[in-house]
């Protein structure tokens, strides 16, 4: 079976739902940010600060290519992985791509509730709120997230409900 990639903006539930889906389908789960952190022995915000975003994107591309070469795996790329055309091509070629979305206000709540520093959201114009930044970046990426075979909004339903809906959709696709 092809691997399943969960794409989507930060805070849409890629890691949480990815883990639940992996457990439900008895498949391994690979979080690309976690792979990069482990390999670099550095948090993502530190990598951005030390090497810059371009270098981070190159690490992300490398980690994605290695993960996508595996079969029967649930992959969670960082929210910006879809920005590179090469990454979108790798995802579409090797994975069944599912897109998670959420309302900007829900995203804000979720990203504020965890300890991970997201440099893309910290990079704001003077006076720009985090919510405004979320909306701005979301809008610039919306088309890429919408390209997926299946899109699901995670704002309201529980992890269990969302996981079941994804499993049902996969079953309908004969995955």
Asked whether position 119 contacts ligand S3P by CB under 6 A, the answer is: yes
Asked whether position 104 contacts ligand S3P by CB under 6 A, the answer is: no
Q: Quick one: which segment of 64-72, 73-81, 142-150, 163-171 binds ligand S3P (CB under 6 A)?
A: 73-81
Residue 61: HSE in the Cβ half-sphere, 13 Å Cα cutoff: 13
By three-state DSSP, how is residue 3 classified?
strand
Q: Where are the beta strands (DSSP E) in 71-175?
A: 74-76, 95-101, 150-153
Residues 4-43 that bind ligand S3P (CB under 6 A): 10, 14, 33
Is residue 159 within 8 Å of 20, Cβ to Cβ?
yes
Q: Quick one: which segment of 100-108, 116-124, 127-135, 146-154 binds ligand S3P (CB under 6 A)?
A: 116-124
Q: Where are the beta strands (DSSP E) in the chain?
A: 3-8, 29-31, 74-76, 95-101, 150-153
Determine the size of the site formed for ligand S3P (CB under 6 A).
10
Asked whether position 64 contacts ligand S3P by CB under 6 A, the answer is: no
Nearer to ligand S3P, 27 or 82 (CB): 82
Figure out which of the listed residues 6, 17, 63, 79 binds ligand S3P, where binding follows CB under 6 A.
79
Antiparallel, parallel or unpaired: β 150-153 and 95-101 = parallel
Asked whether position 61 contacts ligand S3P by CB under 6 A, the answer is: no
Residue 151 burial class via C-beta count within 10 angstroms: exposed 0-12, middle 13-18, buried 19 and up: middle
Residues contributing to the site for ligand S3P (CB under 6 A): 10, 14, 33, 44, 78-80, 118-120
């Amino acid at each position: 079976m092809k691997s399943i990639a969960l794409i989507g903006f930060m805070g849409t539930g890629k890691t949480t739902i990815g883990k639940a889906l992996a457990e439900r389908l008895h498949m391994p789960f690979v979080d690309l940010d976690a792979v990069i952190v482990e390999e670099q022995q550095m948090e993502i915000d530190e990598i951005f600060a030390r090497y810059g975003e371009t270098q981070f994107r190159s690490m992300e591309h490398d980690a994605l290519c290695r993960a996508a070469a595996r079969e029967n795996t649930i992959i969670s790329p960082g929210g910006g992985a879809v920005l590179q055309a090469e990454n979108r091509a790798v995802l579409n070629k090797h994975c069944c791509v599912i897109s998670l979305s959420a309302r900007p206000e829900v995203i804000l709540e979720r990203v504020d509730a965890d300890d991970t520093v997201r440099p893309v959201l910290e990079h704001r114009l003077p006076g720009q709120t985090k919510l405004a930044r979320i909306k701005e970046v979301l809008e610039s990426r919306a088309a890429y997230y919408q390209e997926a075979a299946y899109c699901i909004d995670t704002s309201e339903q529980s992890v269990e409900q969302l996981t079941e809906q994804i499993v049902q959709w996969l079953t309908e696709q004969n995955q």
